């Protein structure tokens, strides 16, 4: 049993349960994946499996070391690779060249989804950190500024991590304990309840929930 699967976010829709309840879901094209490398404590110092999404790239876009690495598991051209740590003594049946498909996951199973959030560019503190802002009327000239960022006499510096304007988005985001609503094994599609990080067409990682 694989600890997770790689996929591509297609978009959001909604489905109806048997009792008529409407459930918002995100459609994920999950797999097929190939096991590119199996890492063991004896050879690598820890137990893990490296998966590659079977979505081929042009040979010119993959360098020679990566090509040689993929060739060992007959996965030439795979461009999206991610690693899953394994618990000691589990998932020992996975080996290089094995396939991981969407049918390994079942409805009502919980997964953690990891992706890269949408990039928003430069944003101020009101949008980025949800600051309240000051009065908009009565002659106020202080609307969306952050206010004081530290005292001048002591400590005479700005502490690291101070919430300020800056680059918003394009961060690695993990959403935990999302429910799998449906699995279409024929088309390698998984419907996950709720929203997932990233724009449509971005890569996501689905791993079995840890909590």
Q: How confident is the model at residue 89 (pLDDT cuts 50, 70, 90)?
A: low
Place of tokens 């409805």: 107
CA dihedral (171, 176, 182, 183) positive or negative: positive
Question: Rounded to an integer, what is the distance from CA 25 to the centroid of its chain?
Answer: 16
Question: Do 127 and 195 sit in the same domain of this protein?
Answer: no
How many structural domains does the chain have? 2
Q: Which helix (H) or strand (E) holds 128?
A: helix 125-129
Question: Do 72 and 159 sit in the same domain of this protein?
Answer: no
Question: Do 89 and 185 sit in the same domain of this protein?
Answer: yes
Q: Which helix (H) or strand (E) holds 29?
A: strand 22-30
Question: Do 159 and 75 sit in the same domain of this protein?
Answer: no
Residue 112 to residue 52: CA distance in whole angstroms: 18
Query: Taking Cα atoms as reference points, which of 113, 103, 111 lies closest to residue 188?
Result: 103
pLDDT of 83 above 60 = yes
Q: Which domain holds residue 152?
A: 121-168
pTM: 0.82
**Out of 27-41, 81-95, 118-132, 154-168, least confident range:** 81-95
**Out of 20-24, 102-106, 155-159, 178-182, least confident range:** 102-106
For residue 37, the model assigns a pLDDT of 84
Question: Do 78 and 160 sit in the same domain of this protein?
Answer: no
Question: Do 14 and 115 sit in the same domain of this protein?
Answer: yes
Average per-residue pLDDT in the chain?
A: 88
CATH of the domain at 32: 2.40.30.10
User: Which residues does 131 contact at the CB level (< 8 Å), separation at least 6?
Assistant: 125, 144, 146, 163
SS3 label, residue 159: coil
pLDDT of 44 above 90 = no
**Out of 63-72, 77-86, 183-192, least confident range:** 63-72
Place of tokens 């961060």: 171
For residue 163, the model assigns a pLDDT of 95
**Helices vs strands, H then E, count in the chain:** 3, 12
Residue 111 to residue 205: CA distance in whole angstroms: 10
pLDDT of 88 above 70 = no
For residue 90, the model assigns a pLDDT of 60
Query: Taking Cα atoms as reference points, which of 3, 9, 210 lies closest to residue 110?
Result: 210
Question: Do 97 and 186 sit in the same domain of this protein?
Answer: yes
pLDDT tens digits along 141-200: 999 999 899 999 999 999 999 999 999 999 999 999 999 999 988 888 999 999 999 999
SS3 label, residue 61: helix
For residue 13, the model assigns a pLDDT of 93
Place of tokens 């790689």: 6
Question: Do 83 and 180 sit in the same domain of this protein?
Answer: yes
Query: Taking Cα atoms as reference points, which of 43, 47, 37, 32 lies closest to residue 82?
Result: 37
Over pLDDT 90: what percentage of the chain?
Answer: 50
pLDDT of 91 above 60 = no
Question: Do 31 and 125 sit in the same domain of this protein?
Answer: no
**Do residues 9 and 202 lie in contact, with contact meaning Cβ atoms separated by under 8 Å?**
yes
Q: What share of the chain is helix, strand, coil (3-state, %, to 5)?
A: 10, 40, 50
Tokens standing for 48?
A: 């893990």
């Amino acid at each position: 049993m694989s600890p997770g699967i790689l996929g591509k976010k297609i978009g959001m829709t909604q489905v109806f349960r048997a009792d008529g309840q409407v459930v918002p879901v995100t459609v994920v094209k999950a797999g097929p994946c190939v096991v590119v490398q199996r890492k063991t404590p004896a050879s690598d110092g820890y137990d893990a499996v490296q998966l590659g999404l079977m979505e081929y790239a042009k040979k010119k876009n993959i360098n020679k070391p990566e090509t040689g690495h993929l060739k060992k598991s007959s996965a030439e051209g795979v461009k999206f690779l991610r690693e899953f740590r394994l618990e000691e003594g589990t998932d020992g049946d996975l080996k290089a060249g094995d396939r991981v498909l969407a049918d390994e996951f079942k409805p009502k199973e919980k997964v953690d989804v990891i992706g890269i959030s949408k990039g928003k560019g430069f944003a101020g503190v009101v949008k980025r950190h949800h600051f309240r802002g000051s009065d908009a009327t009565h002659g106020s000239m202080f609307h969306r500024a952050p206010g004081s960022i530290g005292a001048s006499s002591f400590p005479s510096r700005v502490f690291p991590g101070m919430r300020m304007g800056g680059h918003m988005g394009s961060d690695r985001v993990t959403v935990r304990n999302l429910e799998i609503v449906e699995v279409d094994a024929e088309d390698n599609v998984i419907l996950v309840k709720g929203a997932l990080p990233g724009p449509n067409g971005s890569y996501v990682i689905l791993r079995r929930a840890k909590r």
